[in-house]
């Protein structure tokens, strides 16, 4: 196969070095061992087309690889696949200030796109802790969300066009940056969130926004889960929130220890809400805060007085995932509608405390848009496989509860390898059958990221 790949790529853009295979063949999921047969680094659309056609002709599988910050194994190559790294397709190809549209290659880092926008007095609002290394192609493949979805939506909402190579090796130019285009099925939205199972996203037209006003950050100490939802309700009246995040005291303890950070408030609380909003809403926010204090939903709070302090408060939330990594967490990424959140939280909390009486459980996430991250930490006496198997047995109980609320078993991290067997808790048999049909249409020989997403 290396010989065939060498007909497309020069030697410096193919590697079979063991360290490279491990590096480019895995993402941030720890449950799998990377075992690709090669990694290639295309630089042009034509090379990607040639590669996909070769994969069809020679019957080998491809795994797309962006910033590899995923948490569901979507970018893991564990069965001799060829990894397609977009690291060398990291150029911004054009910018139109009147349309506020950037054309970029799939390997542009999310952070680089944010910086590009900022240099032009604009704003790319999709943001998350991993944005420094994640790539726009991967963001599209997983429809990445993050911390400002409550105000700005998901990656899907910012993609005005994309160029993709289907599993059959055909080039699709979807929507071409148009605002209006009423000509039938929009394949752009089918490819967004398809986790590389239908084709490879090679280029995208990304919309930028005007930057928001200066922002203020508040961290509030809350007495209980249900208080968080009351606090959200109080602030939604009159304050346009850019973020409404939460974390439990256990999650806070981990990030503080890992980064040596001071506590946000004098006394510890079971839960904390982190809010970000326009500075002009400060009076309305202060009134909402008073109301929350009066009703005892909030015990105390801190308001950022500078950008540096705002960044320090954000670090308490954004650093959590990384600080949990050494504890071998079993991750859940759930969502329900906000109106169902109070009841769901009560039921999920009861289920989790019963299923994991001796385990440390960290709750956090983007509760303002209905998304909860639930990390169960491995007790030191347990082996990793034993712990994972135990959690895997509990998952169906939790997912059954999610299904009762018509929620999602993967709100923003994708399905990948990790949640494939559980897809039926969020998608009906009819939907899964349609997914299989679409997969066959786009990728008749099954070369695109096999065994991901679809059970
Ligand atoms: C976050 O919101 C990320 O910090 C990661 O989505 C969540 O590691 C996790 O469970
Ligand atoms: Zn998240």
Mutate to test the pocket of ligand 1, among 413, 416, 418, 419 (most ligand atoms within 8 A of CB): 413
* Residue among 144, 125, 147 nearest 135 (CA): 144
Instruction: Report pLDDT for 291.
Output: 97
The number of beta carbons lying within 10 Å of the beta carbon of residue 173 is: 14
Query: Residue 334 is inside which H or E element, if any?
Result: strand 330-335
Measured by CA distance, the residue closest to atom 8 of ligand 1 is: 321
**Beta pairing, strands 62-65 & 82-85:** parallel
Q: Which sign does the torsion angle of CA 281, 336, 130, 67 carry?
A: negative
The finding on whether 315 has its CB within 6 A of some atom of ligand 1 is: no
Mutate to test the pocket of ligand 1, among 129, 144, 328 (most ligand atoms within 8 A of CB): 129
End-to-end CA separation in angstroms for the chain: 28
pLDDT in tens, 288-328: 999 999 999 999 999 999 999 999 999 999 999 999 999 99
Q: What is the pTM of this model?
A: 0.97
Measured by CA distance, the residue closest to atom 7 of ligand 1 is: 321
Q: Which atom of ligand 1 is nearest to the CA of 320?
A: 4
If you ran DSSP here, which 8-state letter would residue 305 be given?
S
Measured by CA distance, the residue closest to atom 6 of ligand 1 is: 146
The finding on whether 331 has its CB within 6 A of some atom of ligand 1 is: yes
Cβ neighbourhood burial of 349 (10 Å; 0-12, 13-18, 19+): middle
Q: Which atom of ligand 1 is nearest to the CA of 318?
A: 4
**In 11-140, where do the E strands start and end?**
14-15, 38-40, 62-65, 82-85, 92-96, 101-105
Q: Which sign does the torsion angle of CA 261, 263, 269, 274 carry?
A: negative
**Helices 341-355 and 384-404 sit at what angle, rounded to 10 degrees?**
150
* Residue among 65, 69, 20, 79 nearest 201 (CA): 65
Own/partner contacts of 125-130, CB < 8 Å, gap of 24 or more, are 125/151, 125/152, 125/158, 125/209, 126/152, 126/154, 126/155, 126/158, 128/318, 129/318, 129/319, 129/321, 129/322, 130/28, 130/67, 130/69
CA of 146 to the centre of ligand 2 (A): 5
CA 157 to chain centre: 14
CA 452 to chain centre: 16
Instruction: Report pLDDT for 356.
Output: 85
Most distant CA pair in the chain, distance: 72
Give me the percent of the chain exceeding a pLDDT of 70.
100
CA of 411 to the centre of ligand 1 (A): 11
CA of 424 to the centre of ligand 1 (A): 23
The finding on whether 432 has its CB within 6 A of some atom of ligand 1 is: no
Residues of the chain with pLDDT under 50: none
The finding on whether 254 has its CB within 6 A of some atom of ligand 1 is: no
The finding on whether 72 has its CB within 6 A of some atom of ligand 1 is: no
Instruction: Report pLDDT for 30.
Output: 87
The finding on whether 373 has its CB within 6 A of some atom of ligand 1 is: yes
Mutate to test the pocket of ligand 1, among 67, 128, 130 (most ligand atoms within 8 A of CB): 128
The finding on whether 375 has its CB within 6 A of some atom of ligand 1 is: yes
């Amino acid at each position: 196969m290396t010989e065939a790949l060498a007909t497309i790529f020069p030697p410096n853009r193919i590697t079979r070095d063991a360290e490279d295979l491990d590096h480019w063949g895995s993402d941030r999921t720890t449950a799998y061992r990377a075992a690709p047969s090669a990694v290639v680094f295309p630089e042009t659309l034509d090379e990607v087309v040639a590669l996909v056609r070769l994969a069809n002709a020679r019957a080998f599988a491809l795994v797309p690889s962006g910033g590899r910050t995923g948490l569901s194994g979507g970018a893991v190559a564990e069965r001799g696949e060829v990894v397609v790294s977009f690291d060398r397709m990291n150029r911004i190809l054009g910018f139109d200030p009147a349309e506020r549209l950037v054309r970029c290659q799939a390997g542009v880092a999310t952070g680089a796109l944010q910086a590009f926008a900022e240099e032009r007095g604009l704003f790319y609002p999709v943001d998350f802790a991993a944005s420094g290394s994640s790539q726009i192609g991967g963001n599209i493949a997983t429809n990445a969300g993050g911390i400002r979805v409550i105000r700005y939506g998901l990656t899907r909402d910012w993609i005005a066009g994309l160029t993709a190579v289907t599993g059959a090796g055909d080039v699709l130019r979807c929507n071409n940056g148009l605002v209006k285009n009423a000509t039938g099925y929009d394949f752009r939205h089918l490819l967004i969130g398809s986790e590389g199972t239908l084709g490879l996203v090679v280029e995208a037209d990304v919309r930028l926004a005007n930057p928001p006003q200066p922002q203020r950050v508040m961290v509030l100490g809350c007495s209980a889960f249900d208080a968080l939802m009351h606090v959200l309700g109080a602030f939604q009246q009159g304050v346009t929130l850019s973020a409404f995040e939460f974390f439990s005291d256990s999650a806070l303890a981990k990030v503080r220890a890992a980064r040596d950070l001071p506590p946000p408030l004098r006394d510890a609380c079971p839960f904390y809400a982190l809010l970000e909003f326009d500075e002009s809403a400060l009076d309305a926010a202060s009134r909402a805060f008073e109301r929350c204090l009066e009703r005892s939903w909030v015990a105390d709070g801190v308001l950022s007085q500078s950008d540096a302090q705002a960044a320090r408060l954000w670090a308490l939330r954004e650093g959590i995932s990384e600080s949990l990594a050494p504890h071998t967490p079993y991750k859940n990424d759930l969502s329900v509608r906000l109106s169902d959140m109070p009841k769901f939280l009560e039921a999920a909390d009861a289920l989790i405390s019963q299923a994991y009486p001796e385990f440390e459980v960290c709750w956090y996430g983007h509760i303002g848009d209905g998304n909860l991250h639930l990390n169960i930490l491995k007790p030191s006496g347990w082996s990793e496989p034993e712990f994972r198997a135990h959690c895997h047995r509990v998952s169906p109980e939790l997912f059954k509860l999610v299904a009762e609320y018509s929620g999602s078993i993967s709100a923003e991290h994708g399905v990948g390898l990790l949640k494939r067997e559980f897809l039926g808790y969020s998608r009906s048999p009819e939907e899964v059958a349609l997914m299989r049909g679409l997969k066959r249409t786009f990728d008749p020989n099954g070369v695109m990221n096999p065994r991901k997403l679809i059970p």
